[in-house]
Chains A and B, each alone.
Chain A
Amino acid sequence: MNKKSALWSISALVYAFLYVPLVIVVVYSFNDSRLNAEWVGFTLNWYRVLFNDEQMIGAAVNSLTIAVVSALAATALGTMAGIAIHRYKPKLLPFMVITPVAMPEILLGVSLLLFFIQVMNLTLGMLSIIIAHITFCIGFVAIVVRARLAGMDESIFEAARDLGATPWQTFKLVTFPLIMPGVIAGTLMSFTLSIDDFVITFFTVGVGVTTLPLQIYSMIKIAVTPEVNAVSTLLMLLTLTTIIVASKFAPDVLRGVAK
């Protein structure tokens, strides 16, 4: 067996390793059995249960609301941060932008919990979650926008001003159209990250509010039924679509994230 086919077989195994578990989740969401053990028959029952589960629907609505608000705010702040880092090369800002992303999530979750209770005396709920989500999403948007700017010919912006454009016109007509793909990719990524977030939400959620991941978590811990599979499948579909669209806008997003 030569080197190339050895590589291929190991890679195939790794790809299988990545996908088989997810396929099993999806498949069993249609399984006519309470147990996730063996295949009994096809059914849409669990989806029906899902759509009648008020708590789950409430959690989904919360998740979507939080995700939309957080993504929009993080996009605005993150774009500003990305531009600022690229143009002014500040010392502190890059650190503050990247660290929430690089550090284990639990640290951000815990410190925000302390902050909200001790300092702000804030009742935990939707607002605290949104604030937390924005904090770690800013980093992603900033990285993507900055990467996009770094790949462009600097003199374009000077040329615009040289030819009569005010700083605002330069931004509107030259800078923004050119970073737009990165901004969109960043927004979509923030949306995905927010919908999926578990750890930070776990600490900043308080009582009376729940999000989709938290709901899934309690179902996993307390009573596992294939309803979890159903909601998982739908959630996967949503984030899959979002990521595919995002990757079309900025293929280099993936590499920027890896850095």
Chain B
Amino acid sequence: MLEQYIGAGIMLLVATAIACGMVLLTSILGPKHQFPDKMEPFECGESQLVSPRQRFSVKFYLVAVLFVLFDIEAVFFFPWAILFQRLGVFGLVEMFLFILILGVGLAYVWIRGGLDWE
């Protein structure tokens, strides 16, 4: 029974070797001299105006997370939009149900005050 796993084992070994090898290679071969420009967050020439390490309001987090959620849901609209005419009424009804469920989520966020900035 064990010899069945040899093929799988080799594949796993190769992958591990590549992953470890790359980490090792960069740490061995990579240039290590440091100079002030290198330590800046952007190496593109533009000098920074304010410290990038300052904290920004946690409110941005809420907006960002809500954006990610509703943004990713849009991924389901693309296949639907492309096949819209071929899917016919059935697709339309299904998509409206989907939007309705999203709408419940939006209503919850809205009433709960997730969209208020103050």
Q: Do A and B bind each other?
A: no
